[in-house]
């Protein structure tokens, strides 16, 4: 491409200077803010003031950051789920549906099993049931993928819609098990108190929206990171992801590797749904359907470049934009939530676009003469 007698030239980098690993993401976020600022200015909002508000409401104020951590909790799980599958070149985008199933399975356990159990056991039982339900939801796509090579992208995506309708049916379409029998208003039946955790207060007397499940999510991310680094399972999946032929050569079982990775990925998303039950919801709550934390998990995984520890940071960053955006919408000079969504999109776009600069050296050269 020649513009004003200059040509953009790209050369692959042999080595990436370590400074770029910091500079590129920071610049990506800055550029995203500039783009979002243009939208803000166009809609008549002062960009800088709005950003400061966003920062305050999303990250720096007490209620801002605690709301953000609360929202980030299931997001860490769906982010881990996506990262776990994507690292193996399995592009499961079923986190949304698996998370709903986690919520359903967790609620079932919370209603049926938790009454007889102390909280210290009931909560893990609920989380495990959520994980199993999430894994079960991906079992069919996993089997199809490993045995017949069916695209997991399509099968997991379609099951998201099935899961969504399942939740709607349980609450709005029927008066069955998950529906609260005490009221005619369509809402979910609450789980046993033993299966609930109370929010963290962070040594104050305030009631926050952050639950101890956030700590569980962080522990999950860190242990997953460590296990995949040192364990044989982590080693085999890494080999398989890098070169399926090498894995076959070494006698690894590709059917087992592919299906187990998808099942674990489903379980991680399911845990996210169950954490929603243990924490804020306490029931099958259609409100979860509105916020798209499953799909956002894919974005979080991409931002984190499939690094399990980085998923925590990306989830908090992403959740903060959402809580900050929500607060702006409710402020005296309401900024539409769409702006926050534009900002999320811009962050993702620039972060992924920044890869180009990390991998390539881009120079602009003057073109000496037109080519004969």
Partner 1 sequence: MSQAGRAVAPALVARGITKRFPGVVANDSVNFDVARGEVHTLLGENGAGKSTLASVLCGLYRPEEGQLLRNGAEIRLNSPRDGLSQGIAMVHQHFRLVDRFTVAENVVLGHKSLSFVLDNAAIEERVASITQEFGLPLDPRAVVGELSAGERQRVEIVKALYQGAELLLLDEPTALLAPPEVEKLFITVRAMTHAGKSVVFVSHKLGEVVDISDRITVMRAGKVTGSVRRGDADVRRLAELMVGREINIVPRRAKSPTSDVLLSISQVHLEREGAEILTDINLEGRAGEIVGVSGVAGNGQRDLAEVVAGLRMPQRGNVTVCGVPTSRAGALGARRAGLAYVPEDRLGTGLAPSLSMVDNLVLTRKRGFIVDRKSALRESEGFIRQLEIKTPGPLTPTRKLSGGNAQKVLLARELFAVSGARVLIVCSPTRGLDVGAVEAVHALLDEARDAGKAILMISEDLDEVMTLADRVMVLYRGRITLEQAGIDADLDRIGRAMAGLAS
Give me the residues that bind partner 1 (CB under 8 A), please. Answer: 11-14, 230-232, 234-235, 238-239, 242-243, 245-246, 248-251, 371-372
- Altogether, the residues listed in the chain come to a count of 372
Q: Which is nearer to partner 1, 249 or 256 (CB)?
A: 249
Is residue 168 within 8 A of residue 286, CB to CB? The reply is yes
Question: Minimum CB separation from partner 1 for residue 7, in Å?
Answer: 13
User: How many CB atoms are closer than 10 A to CB 104?
Assistant: 27
Question: Minimum CB separation from partner 1 for residue 6, in Å?
Answer: 18
Question: Minimum CB separation from partner 1 for residue 126, in Å?
Answer: 28
Closest to 71 (Cα-Cα) out of 308, 350, 293, 260: 293
Q: Which is nearer to partner 1, 223 or 231 (CB)?
A: 231
Q: 166-190 burial, b if ≥16 CB within 10 A, otherwise e? A: bbeebbeeeeeebbbeeeeeebbbb
Q: Which is nearer to partner 1, 9 or 147 (CB)?
A: 9
Reported as half-sphere exposure (CB side, CA atoms, 13 A), residue 205 has a value of 0
Question: Minimum CB separation from partner 1 for residue 40, in Å?
Answer: 41
> Coil, strand or helix: which one is 197?
coil
Instruction: Record the tokens describing residue 239, joined without a space.
Output: 């080999």
Q: Which is nearer to partner 1, 152 or 236 (CB)?
A: 236
Closest to 236 (Cα-Cα) out of 222, 250, 221: 250
Pairing of strands 6-12, 360-366: antiparallel
Q: Which is nearer to partner 1, 11 or 205 (CB)?
A: 11
Question: Minimum CB separation from partner 1 for residue 64, in Å?
Answer: 41
Question: Minimum CB separation from partner 1 for residue 247, in Å?
Answer: 8
Beta bridge partners of 364: 8
Is residue 100 within 8 A of residue 164, CB to CB? The reply is yes
Question: Minimum CB separation from partner 1 for residue 89, in Å?
Answer: 12
Q: Which is nearer to partner 1, 198 or 246 (CB)?
A: 246
Q: Which is nearer to partner 1, 164 or 239 (CB)?
A: 239
Separation CA 29–CA 349 (nearest Å): 10
């Amino acid at each position: 491409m020649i513009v004003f007698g200059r040509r953009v030239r790209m050369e692959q980098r042999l080595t990436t200077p370590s400074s770029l690993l910091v500079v590129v993401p920071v610049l990506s976020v800055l550029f995203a803010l500039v783009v979002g600022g243009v939208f803000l200015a166009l809609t008549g909002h002062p960009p800088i003031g709005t950003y400061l508000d966003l920062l305050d409401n999303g990250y720096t104020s007490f209620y801002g950051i605690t709301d953000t951590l609360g929202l980030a909790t299931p997001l860490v799980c769906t982010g881990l789920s996506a990262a776990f599958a994507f690292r193996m070149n399995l592009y499961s985008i079923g986190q949304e549906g698996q998370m709903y199933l986690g919520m359903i399975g967790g609620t079932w356990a919370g209603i049926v099993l938790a009454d007889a159990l102390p909280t210290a056991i009931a909560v893990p039982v609920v989380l495990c049931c959520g994980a199993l339900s999430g894994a079960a939801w991906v079992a069919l796509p996993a089997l199809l993928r490993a045995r017949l090579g069916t695209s997991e992208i399509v099968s997991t995506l379609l099951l998201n819609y099935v899961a969504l309708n399942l939740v709607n049916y349980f609450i709005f379409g029927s008066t069955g098990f998950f529906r609260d029998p005490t009221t005619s208003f369509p809402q979910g039946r609450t789980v046993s108190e033993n299966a609930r955790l109370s929010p963290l207060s962070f040594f104050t007397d305030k009631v926050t929206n952050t639950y101890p499940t956030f700590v569980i999510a962080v522990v999950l991310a860190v242990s997953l990171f460590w296990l995949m680094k040192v364990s044989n399972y982590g080693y085999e999946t890494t080999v398989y992801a890098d070169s399926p032929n090498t894995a076959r050569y070494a006698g690894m079982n590709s059917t087992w590797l592919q299906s187990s990775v998808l099942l674990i990925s489903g379980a991680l998303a399911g845990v996210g749904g169950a954490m929603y039950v243990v924490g804020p919801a306490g029931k099958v709550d259609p409100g979860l359907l509105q916020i798209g934390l499953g799909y956002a998990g894919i974005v979080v995984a991409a931002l984190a470049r499939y690094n399990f520890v980085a998923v925590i940071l990306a989830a908090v960053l992403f959740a903060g934009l959402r809580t900050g955006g929500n607060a702006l919408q409710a402020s005296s000079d309401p900024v539409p939530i769409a702006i926050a969504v534009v900002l999320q999109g811009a962050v993702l776009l620039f972060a992924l676009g920044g890869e180009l600069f990390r991998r390539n050296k881009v120079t602009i050269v003057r073109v000496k003469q037109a080519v004969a």
